[in-house]
Amino acid sequence: MARPGAACPPPARRVMVAARALLFWALVYSYCGVCACIAGLRLLWSIGRRPGETFRWVVRENPPSCLNDPSLGTHCYVRIKDSGLRFHYVAAGERGKPLMLLLHGFPEFWYSWRHQLREFKSEYRVVALDLRGYGETDAPPHKENYKLDCLIADIKDILESLGYNKCVLIGHDWGGMIAWLVAICYPEMVTKLIVVNFPHPSVFTEYILRHPSQLIKSGYYFFFQMPWFPEFMFTLNDFKVLKSLFTSQATGIGRKGCRLTAEDIEAYLYVFSQPGALTGPINHYRTIFSCLPLQHHEVSMPTLLLWGERDAFMEVEMAEITRIYVKNHFRLTILSEASHWLQQDQPDIVNKLIWTFLKEETKRKRE
């Protein structure tokens, strides 16, 4: 949007901008069609091999005991005045301690931070949130309710509702995207930023257009633009795709990592097998192409970026490029044997790196 009083661009430039926009959306919808065709072929293959199993979908009625483990913290709810939405979170550590706010990725929920809830509660009030549309948090029905502006405002409003004006903010995957944006838009609210396996959003948008390999790895962004079909594909074979994401050789937690137990997997299946439980999470992606690229880029607080080199969805080259957007102390650590699900895959190492960063920054500030 042009600034008030600014001169209108010349006709040639307007044509160029319109042409670029047309090409961009042509790419988005063309690739969306390609991804849909691939998904359709997989569906037909599954029906041909196991027709009886393909459409099996079991709704888990009762949560596994791990979701109510008292060592993880207390289940809490907060209703935001402006949006009217009720958010669910799990909190560990004493009230009044510095706040550490944890934002999960897709397809995850608060439980993906179980190792960090136990670890950091000694010195922080640790809050693992269910993002808008996930788990026990309210899920507005329309995709417009999941624009990045809404997701950023959620974090600001939740922080204030918890009685804090600043926090250590940690995000993984899509939660990492939100964490970057909160740090950019509300720098006064973030004392330290820690992101796991997601580059600065500007790096992501620029890199994906120049590297076809990353475009292919991010194919699900395009596939998710379709209505209802992505949710349907997730339910096939009793959520085989969901299980595979965390356990397969290609995308799952590595052989040297902390594998999910059968109960951990049941926790994910309990949350996402509920009717309509996938629409909110996938709606996060359905407005992404109208929200990027960013107008503002720089991050001004100390930042730690952790990266699992065996990430099947994000190329590691983006991690180093992120450095140029952080105008403060920046530390990047790449773990060679770790997967995309880094804080679950290598929790001991991740927790140690976070402690080192937090204490290092405190010491630097004192000096």
**What order of strands is seen across the sheet that includes strand 125-129?**
74-79, 86-92, 125-129, 99-103, 167-172, 190-196, 303-308, 330-335
Check pLDDT > 90 for residue 156: yes
- Please state the pTM of the whole predicted model: 0.90
Amino acid at 189: M
Start-to-end C-alpha separation, the chain: 44
Instruction: Look up residue 242 and give its DSSP letter.
Output: H
Cα separation, 338 vs 346, in Å, equals 7
Is the pLDDT reported for residue 264 higher than 60?
yes
Q: Catalytic positions, please? A: 173, 285, 340
CB 286 within 8 A of CB 221: no
Contact 159, 147 (CB under 8 A): no
Please state the rounded mean pLDDT for residues 10-21: 70
pLDDT at 2: 42
Question: Among 6-10, 34-38, 174-178, which stretch is predicted with the lowest mean pLDDT?
Answer: 6-10
The DSSP 8-state label assigned to residue 120 in this structure reads: H
Helix, strand and coil in the chain, % to nearest 5: 50, 15, 35
Strand partners, 331: 304
pLDDT surpassing 50 at residue 128: yes
- Cα separation, 242 vs 226, whole angstroms: 18
Residue 3 pLDDT class (50, 70, 90 cuts)? very low
Judged by average pLDDT, the poorest of 24-33, 115-124, 246-255, 301-310 is: 24-33
pLDDT (0 to 100) of residue 41: 86
Q: Give the separation between CA 340 and CA 310, rounded to whole angstroms.
A: 7
Count CA atoms within 13 Å of residue 270 on its CB side. Answer: 17
pLDDT reported for residue 6: 46
Evaluate if residue 218 carries a pLDDT over 60: yes
27-360 fold: Rossmann fold (3.40.50)
> Is the pLDDT at 59 greater than 80, yes or no?
yes
pLDDT at 1 over 50: no
pLDDT on residue 364: 65
Q: What is the pLDDT of residue 21?
A: 62
Residues 102, 126: contact at Cβ < 8 Å? Answer: yes
Nearest alpha-carbon partner for 57 in 228, 231, 236: 236
Categorise residue 239: left if φ over 0, alpha if ψ from -120 to 50, beta otherwise: left
CA geometry: angle 196, 76, 178, nearest 5 deg: 30
Residue 4 has pLDDT above 60, yes or no: no
Radius of gyration of the chain (CA): 21
**Residue 216: predicted pLDDT:** 87
Q: Provide the 10 A C-beta neighbour count for residue 74.
A: 9
Q: Is the pLDDT of residue 85 over 80?
A: yes
User: For residue 5, is pLDDT > 50?
Assistant: no
CA 195 to chain centre: 10
Say how far residue 160 (Cα) sits from the centre of its chain: 22
Q: Please give the Cα distance from 55 to 234 (Å, whole number).
A: 10
Higher pLDDT, 17 or 239: 239
Mean pLDDT of the chain: 91
pLDDT classification of 338: cutoffs 50, 70, 90? very high
Read off the pLDDT band of 196 (50, 70, 90).
Answer: very high
Residue 331 · residue 299 · CB < 8 Å: no
